[in-house]
A and B are shown apart, each in its own frame.
Chain A
């Protein structure tokens, strides 16, 4: 089954290799992996979608935590989340065939972001099934798809959720985010909670 993990990791060279190598060692295929900066200074956010047995989640999480550069891990498989993926799709299209692609884009709430004499580029955002739906329709209408670039899944829990581990570690927010200073008493309590025994 598909598992989705969020790993908050130190923004340092070689961290991606360590994470990827862990999945390689467990012989688990990574379906998608997106990495970017997070809301904290020096912390990157990875969203990893992996195809593994239903019971593999605990071991993958525990193994991720064993990596020195991994700060927090969340398994969002069962949680209530917003899931998004972005895709750019380039389709061969002449002035004569463009109009029905415009119609398709309209139906899928996609946007045309580039138009050339022989091709056009569609930008679409949504859950994977929506993107796959558009690709399928394009294929069936015999428009030649020239290129597809997909970001892979991005996931965020709904509601007032943030990393309790990073709060407990007092990892500061990036400048853009520093207005929301956290309550120091709350983070002390969390730190005591996180330290287990």
Chain B
């Protein structure tokens, strides 16, 4: 801490501070330089003490935004994101963001003010049982009622958030705990060491068996999940794939963990995965699942999922083993560590007939280069994604919202770098793009950051435009505007006889809205205008918004209806002017 009061020194390294000061001093000690928050009555002592510490506070416009920003910050950087809110409504507004981080195992620490411990449980003004409310959506949470407990609790919260399978932690600190004083000693407040899950173990017999399965497999496939990014196992997964010439299919959150332009990369699997990826899974005789959890969006119906394949499941959370898909061999542990033990057992092959077959499936089925499609005057979201990828040379950090544009992004923006796609996979939280992009930009100011949202999701957290303006953040916003809640409309078209109940949505003029915040923007209606608008956004120092008015009733293909088998895809109709990314074979 820099200017904190040093009134009493009981022993070296120990200073007496208020609980409020201890909050910031502990955050500083944990290496936190930026936090996202919103002040209010019960957290005011903490805000009063903030000026004494070298921590940048980004004022959000809604606490949901604070949680998403902390989330985007953590996903982009790998560091713990911190969100701060007051008691009552401030705390409850965080909940959607906390649940989003929980479902995608993102390490964030949320600090909430709470009414004084003397009135806890009395329905005092702005009192809510936030630890009770967030119990099922946090990895763990705490109530702190004494100043001396602030530092040890916060330090433990950071440890819990990052260790094992990461996740969000909430620390609820009463006003009197902030106002009280206590001796502060960062080192002495160290949490008890991380205790590995007692069920964490990859038996050497299982490693040997797994290696034998991999060596003997004729049609192996790696399923690349978020865990690769969490454990930093990029090199190990790549070595495994290259040594045995194993093609790699990615989950949505696994995109970027394995380079998309690598010859062994197949692309995204699952509900909106490319046809050849899902066909490859169904034909494989071995699935090597790396840090993924066989979510229903990637398996389709479990009854017919990868019927010919043995499954090796490498996963840090034992509760995921056999939850959805039965594993023939479970290797429970940190992915990188497990692969490091496994790799010496894996020999090198030069030739893989299976890889050739998969590539043929891909080759004959793919017409990937959509930039060559004649310009029919229509603007398709897929065009926008492809052009964005091309113009940014695939190097931008992209934060998406949820829905059609999210799937098009996943299909057409090829991520070669980990932590370059920030998207809400598990919870599917609309309104995620704009605040998580802010968090990503704050975490990685040197990176080019794009927020891509639909016209529906953008309006859920559009208030954060004001945060961008106040912080003058150099990030670009692309709105894929089709006048519908697009994915809802697509489901209504496919499964509800085109009854477009409440899916058409009226939006403000987004460019004018941006201008009202002092943010310049442009509207794009044809393919020809895309390049110039993107160039304008990129060249400008500061925020820029592009409103892409795209084809209204386009759908994401291929699509596996919920509950159908992985190979039972709905394909793009022949007459549709946009070429398919895969044939209808």
Residues of chain A whose beta carbon lies under 8 Å from any beta carbon of chain B: 14, 17-18, 21, 25, 55, 58-59, 61-63, 65-68, 72-73, 165, 169, 194-197
Contacts and interface: CB of A to CB of B under 8 A. Distances in A.
26 contacts: A17-B132, A18-B135, A21-B135, A21-B136, A59-B322, A61-B199, A62-B317, A63-B319, A65-B197, A65-B198, A65-B199, A65-B319, A66-B197, A66-B317, A68-B139, A72-B198, A73-B198, A165-B198, A169-B195, A194-B196, A195-B196, A196-B201, A197-B200, A197-B202, A197-B333, A197-B334
Contacts of B199: 61-62, 65
Nearest to B167: A66
Nearest to B169: A68
Interface in B197-241: 197-202
A165 to B, nearest CB: 5
Given A196-B333, A197-B341, A59 B201 contact: no
Residue of B131, B195, B323, B333 with highest tally of chain A CB at under 10 A: B195
B499 interface: no
Pairs of residues from A and B, 5 with the lowest C-beta to C-beta distance, nearest first: A62-B319, A62-B318, A196-B201, A68-B140, A196-B200
Contacts of A18: 135
A59 B202 contact: no
Interface in B319-340: 319, 321-323, 332-334, 337-338
Interface in B117-163: 131-132, 135-136, 139-140, 160
Contacts of A65: 197-199, 318-319
A17 B197 contact: no
A59 B132 CA distance: 23
**Chief secondary structure at chain B's binding surface:** loop
B373 to A, nearest CB: 48
Contacts of B323: 59
Contacts of A59: 319, 322-323
Contacts of B139: 66, 68
Nearest to B340: A197
A59 B135 CA distance: 19
Contacts of A63: 319
Nearest to A66: B319
Contacts of B338: 197
Contacts of B198: 65, 72-73, 165, 194
A68 B161 CA distance: 11
A66 B202 CA distance: 18
B231 to A, nearest CB: 12
Contact of B131 (A14, A55, A58): A14
Nearest to B140: A68
Given A58-B322, A68-B160, A197 B135 contact: no
B201 to A, nearest CB: 4
Interface in B21-47: none
A191 to B, nearest CB: 10
Given A61-B199, A62-B317, A197-B338, 17 more contacts: A14-B131, A21-B135, A58-B318, A58-B322, A59-B322, A62-B197, A62-B321, A65-B198, A65-B199, A66-B319, A67-B140, A72-B198, A195-B196, A196-B200, A197-B333, A197-B337, A197-B341
A144 B346 CA distance: 73
A63 B322 CA distance: 13
Nearest to A169: B195
B414 to A, nearest CB: 34
Nearest to B319: A62
A55 B200 CA distance: 19
Contacts of B341: 197
B232 to A, nearest CB: 16
B210 to A, nearest CB: 14
Residue of A55, A58, A62 with highest tally of chain B CB at under 10 A: A62
Contacts of B334: 197
Interface in B151-199: 160, 165, 195-199
Contacts of A55: 322
A195 B132 CA distance: 32
B201 A197 contact: yes
A197 B5 CA distance: 46
A14 to B, nearest CB: 7
Contacts of B318: 58, 62, 65
A133 B248 CA distance: 61
A25 B322 contact: no
Contacts of B332: 196
Nearest to B330: A58
A62 B332 CA distance: 11
Contacts of A14: 131
Contacts of B197: 62, 65-66
Residue of A18, A63, A72, A197 with highest tally of chain B CB at under 10 A: A197
A58 B139 CA distance: 20
Contacts of B165: 66
Interface string B350-391: 000000000000000000000000000000000000000000
Contacts of B135: 17-18, 21
B438 to A, nearest CB: 30
B136 A25 contact: yes
Contact of B196 (A25, A58, A68, A196): A196
Contacts of A72: 198
Contacts of B160: 68
A65 B321 CA distance: 14
A55 B326 CA distance: 11
Contacts of A169: 195
A166 to B, nearest CB: 10
Residue of B198, B321, B338 with highest tally of chain A CB at under 10 A: B198
Nearest to A14: B131
A150 B323 CA distance: 34
